[in-house]
Structure 1
Amino acid sequence: MESLLRWSIENSTGPGAQASTSSQPVGSGSSGSTAVTSVNAAPRQHLDPSIIDHILGKSDGQLMKEALTVAVDRNRSDDERIQALDDFEMLVEQIDNANNIAKLEMWSPLQDLLTASESSAEISTQVLWIIGTALQNNPKAQLAYMNLSPPALPTIVGFLNASQSSGQRSKAIYALSGLLKHNKKAVDDLDDGMWDVIKSAVSDSDIAVRRKVIFMLNALLIPTTILTEESSGDNVVHANSHESHLSSPSSVNTSEPTIAALESRGILEVIVDALVEPLPHGPDGENMEEDIELVERVIRFLHTYTVFCDRQLSKQENQKVLEYLNRPNGGSLGLTEEELGELQASLRCEQ
């Protein structure tokens, strides 16, 4: 519609155009009939492109280019560059704009900005935010990002290390979730070292990072059959962005490789301990209170693992969870009464 309107403006007759006609009698007699014999119009005046941009506004693609140009310009202040990246992130919330990152060859500049030693923590945090937004529920963008050279996955995982700021670690989980969710190939590409970094994040000093890690692992655990049954408007499959899903449904099955990693890397034990023996949190470990949101996410994770995936905890971990659930005034812990009953029944069956 915008292109049609732009064409219409460019090809409309200018305000100075005038039509003049000359006529002469047709036939004889006193009828006075006349016919137009010529029409002379003034030459069409094309509008300046800047005027058209002022009327219609710049295209999203142009706005993305301008924002990225500012973001990579080291002569600009950090505030200007961060604002440009924030503008870019809002644009790629639209899936077509997210896919245009590859078409406009912007992934490499963004990745270079993420890894540049000169980039401040705030700038790298904004880039991670862009990555997470562009990749979520967008397999076309996921594949484009994974095709970067050198591979981009280790870079994102690297931002989960304790040496990074809490903001960087938080946004790294957001970006990692966007890349891994419904993307079996990316999960398969996680090596033992990367899984160990994710395992460490379960005990991160920032409680928000702990919550996000558990939420991500639960999403990766959910079997494809459950995803299909519970699909909603947020997970609509579009041919223009989900071609790989349509051509290869198994490409979304992240459950099996996630289970294998959880069991082989000792991550399950750390998650259970996060529930029953939570570590203090805060910059100096000053907060000793149990975090209800984290508890609910761990309980949801355990329900997915034992009920949906039909897997078993070790006897020791199983007993720890049962004792926790049997505490007085435990409440529903984020599950429905039916789900809580399913979890308890599953744990008792394992004894």
Structure 2
Amino acid sequence: MEKLLHWSIANSQGDKEAIAKAGQPDPKLLQQLFGGGMADDPTLMKESMTIVLSPEVELDNKMIAMDNFEMLIENLDNANNIENLKLWDPLLEVLSFEEAELRATALSIIGTAVQNNPTSQDNFLKHEGGLEKIIHLINDSTQPIEVKIKALYALSNLLRNHADMAKKFEEMKGLDIIAPILTDKSSNTKLKMRTISLLTAFLSCQDITEQIISTLRADGAVCAAIHCLNTESDLNILDRVLHFLSQLISSGLKFNESEIKDLTSGFKKIEPLEDRLNEDDFLAVKYVL
């Protein structure tokens, strides 16, 4: 199997020297594994994960295997097969790998597998510690920004339209990650956009009750969103913030005196951009001032 692994990598790269060094694999083994030379998708998925987990394979080759795995699970049936093939636990194991590139790609795979896919969302939830690992990566100040962006992408797709996932996320104090990112001057635009998308995903699967609004306020999400109106100039961020606030307003949110003060200040800054922002959300928020 190890010889086949090296031969497969060498052939995928077209490295003649490496191909010669690896030698030809046993034809009977190829026949057994690939059924006549063409491996089916489940076999390719398992083979890719074997490469990623092997301590003898170099990072570049592991990244090729991860990219191949992600392309495969863009197919809905293959995404759901992650559970059947018992590959969720190995994939979650990659989140603890030393190489940031592997962690980021594993998060991207998770986000892609569960996107608009209730079956894979349900399957992921069965694996204890998975959600906790992703939240931890976002809270870890030593993580590169690309890992955090991919973690937010994964979380948004895990939570969207999935009430049980959102409940577990809230129980794990996941909402605590929102305010620090939105108020941190070092957070780039993409990171903030992913964070606001996470907020929207969280709200997508439940009624926005007084309790939910109180939780969002207590966790600083409401103040952090208003803060963005005072500090951001990116139209995409402003639009997403206005939509978030509009959702809360339509669900009965009453701003307190401090929030109204900051909201008024923020509106003065974004008024020149009114014709470039979503009209309904802009007017909904402006109405409460």
Please confirm whether the aligned pair reaches a TM-score higher than 0.5, indicating the same fold: yes
**Map of 1:66 onto structure 2:** 47
| 2-structure distance, mates of 1:76, 1:201 | 36
Taking a change above 3 Å as real, the CA distance of residues 112 and 219 of structure 1, as seen in their structure-2 partners, is: closer
Note if 1:334 corresponds to 2:277.
Answer: yes
Task: Compute the displacement of 1:339 (Å).
Answer: 4.0
Task: Compute the displacement of 1:69 (Å).
Answer: 1.1
Q: Given that residues 183 and 228 in structure 2 are in contact (C-alpha distance below 8 angstroms), is that contact kept between their aligned partners in structure 1?
A: yes
| 2-structure distance, mates of 1:59, 1:339 | 48
**Map of 2:199 onto structure 1:** 217
| 1-structure distance, mates of 2:219, 2:69 | 37
Taking a change above 3 Å as real, the CA distance of residues 64 and 192 of structure 1, as seen in their structure-2 partners, is: closer
Note if 1:91 corresponds to 2:46.
Answer: no
Please say which structure displays the higher CA radius of gyration: 1
AA partner of residue 321 (structure 1): L
**Map of 1:304 onto structure 2:** 247
Task: Compute the displacement of 1:180 (Å).
Answer: 1.1
Q: Given that residues 183 and 227 in structure 2 are in contact (C-alpha distance below 8 angstroms), is that contact kept between their aligned partners in structure 1?
A: no
Q: Given that residues 159 and 172 in structure 1 are in contact (C-alpha distance below 8 angstroms), is that contact kept between their aligned partners in structure 2?
A: yes
For residues 28-107 of structure 1, the aligned pairs below 5 Å read 53-54=36-37, 57-107=38-88
AA partner of residue 330 (structure 1): L
Question: Which of residues 185, 193, 202 is equivalent to 2:182?
Answer: 202
Q: Given that residues 70 and 76 in structure 1 are in contact (C-alpha distance below 8 angstroms), is that contact kept between their aligned partners in structure 2?
A: yes
| 2-structure distance, mates of 1:155, 1:103 | 22
Taking a change above 3 Å as real, the CA distance of residues 300 and 61 of structure 1, as seen in their structure-2 partners, is: same
**Map of 2:107 onto structure 1:** 128
| 2-structure distance, mates of 1:313, 1:298 | 15
Note if 1:152 corresponds to 2:130.
Answer: yes
**Map of 1:191 onto structure 2:** 171
| 1-structure distance, mates of 2:133, 2:208 | 23
Task: Compute the displacement of 1:50 (Å).
Answer: 8.0
Taking a change above 3 Å as real, the CA distance of residues 139 and 258 of structure 1, as seen in their structure-2 partners, is: farther
Task: Compute the displacement of 1:102 (Å).
Answer: 0.2
Q: Given that residues 111 and 158 in structure 2 are in contact (C-alpha distance below 8 angstroms), is that contact kept between their aligned partners in structure 1?
A: yes
Note if 1:318 corresponds to 2:260.
Answer: yes
1:149-171, Cα deviation, whole Å (9 max, x unpaired): 3x211110111132200110000
Q: Given that residues 170 and 208 in structure 1 are in contact (C-alpha distance below 8 angstroms), is that contact kept between their aligned partners in structure 2?
A: yes
**Map of 2:217 onto structure 1:** 263
| 1-structure distance, mates of 2:74, 2:147 | 20
The gaps in structure 2 that reach 5 residues or longer are 1-30
| 2-structure distance, mates of 1:221, 1:122 | 30
For residues 217-296 of structure 1, the aligned pairs below 5 Å read 217-222=199-204, 252-253=205-206, 255-256=208-209, 258-278=212-232, 290-296=233-239
| 2-structure distance, mates of 1:313, 1:140 | 38
Task: Compute the displacement of 1:332 (Å).
Answer: 3.3
AA partner of residue 264 (structure 1): A
The gaps in structure 1 that reach 5 residues or longer are 1-47, 223-251, 279-289
| 1-structure distance, mates of 2:36, 2:229 | 56
1:87-108, Cα deviation, whole Å (9 max, x unpaired): 1111111211111000000001
Task: Compute the displacement of 1:53 (Å).
Answer: 4.4
Task: Compute the displacement of 1:51 (Å).
Answer: 8.8
1:14-62, Cα deviation, whole Å (9 max, x unpaired): xxxxxxxxxxxxxxxxxxxxxxxxxxxxxxxxxx6789644xx432111
Q: Given that residues 137 and 151 in structure 2 are in contact (C-alpha distance below 8 angstroms), is that contact kept between their aligned partners in structure 1?
A: yes
Q: Percent identity?
A: 27
Bigger mean CA deviation after superposition, 327-336 or 294-303: 327-336
| 2-structure distance, mates of 1:51, 1:221 | 45
Q: Given that residues 183 and 254 in structure 1 are in contact (C-alpha distance below 8 angstroms), is that contact kept between their aligned partners in structure 2?
A: no
| 2-structure distance, mates of 1:192, 1:51 | 43
Taking a change above 3 Å as real, the CA distance of residues 295 and 53 of structure 1, as seen in their structure-2 partners, is: farther
- Count of aligned pairs between the two proteins: 253
**Map of 1:285 onto structure 2:** none
> What is the TM-score when the length of structure 1 is the normalising length?
0.66
